Chain A
Amino acid sequence: GAVVSQHPSRVICKSGTSVKIECRSLDFQATTMFWYRQFPKKSLMLMATSNEGSKATYEQGVEKDKFLINHASLTLSTLTVTSAHPEDSSFYICSARKDENKLDTEAFFGQGTRLTVV
């Protein structure tokens, strides 16, 4: 199957600093990538849709200035958590669909990033 690589898998940062998370599609090109946040025992919450070469589409309630998304190429999207606070601690996951024109295309997920802000 297709591979999506996410890095880093774990990061601990100090409150007020910024953290960048990378998501790469290794063997396919992805015009669109999705960023999710998952709280313990909760569903995946879509934060934003990353679009190659254009601005990301953010879900309601997600601060675009706090969660900066850049999708500069067809294989790389980055999520930067700016001025991180302890409440930003969470599990962040990216995903992409291999063939965006097919309805039954499964989403492939990165390994996830466990962010802890201290």
Chain B
Amino acid sequence: GQNIDQPTEMTATEGAIVQINCTYQTSGFNGLFWYQQHAGEAPTFLSYNVLDGLEEKGRFSSFLSRSKGYSYLLLKELQMKDSASYLCAVSDSNYQLIWGAGTKLIIKP
């Protein structure tokens, strides 16, 4: 079956750096997305990786290793507003998005 795994919850300190991991097993691979979702709101797009390596976008970076079925989202200079759930999603062979359960990130002052 298809499976996306990410930690349920993480805690970090304001101003610090946090890495949220995602491992996947899917039928085919057409890219991996990271989304941010604040409580009670819809997800918003953060990043897309389809080739191995690191993609940097401001305070957020996303890394992909296709051979390992592994990705991470790196958040730097954490701010209180970064408290949210972070969803990993993989586009499978049919271009359908398979979603992880999300990682709830708690930022402490």
What residues make up the interface of A, taking CB atoms closer than 8 Å to B? Answer: 1, 6, 34, 41-46, 91, 93, 95, 103-104, 106-112, 114
Contacts and interface: CB of A to CB of B under 8 A. Distances in A.
Interface stretch (B10-18, B58-66, B75-83, B94-102): B94-102
B48 interface: yes
Q: B interface, by DSSP: helix, strand, loop or mixed?
A: loop
Which of under 10, 10 to 19, 20 to 34, or 35 or more describes the interface residues of B? 20 to 34
A44 B87 CA distance: 9
A103 B97 CA distance: 11
A103 B30 contact: yes
B45 A43 contact: no
Contact of A111 (B41, B99, B101): B41
A109 B31 contact: no
Contacts of A45: 99
Pick from B33, B96, B99 the residue with the most CB of A within 10 Å: B99
Interface string B16-34: 0000000000000011010
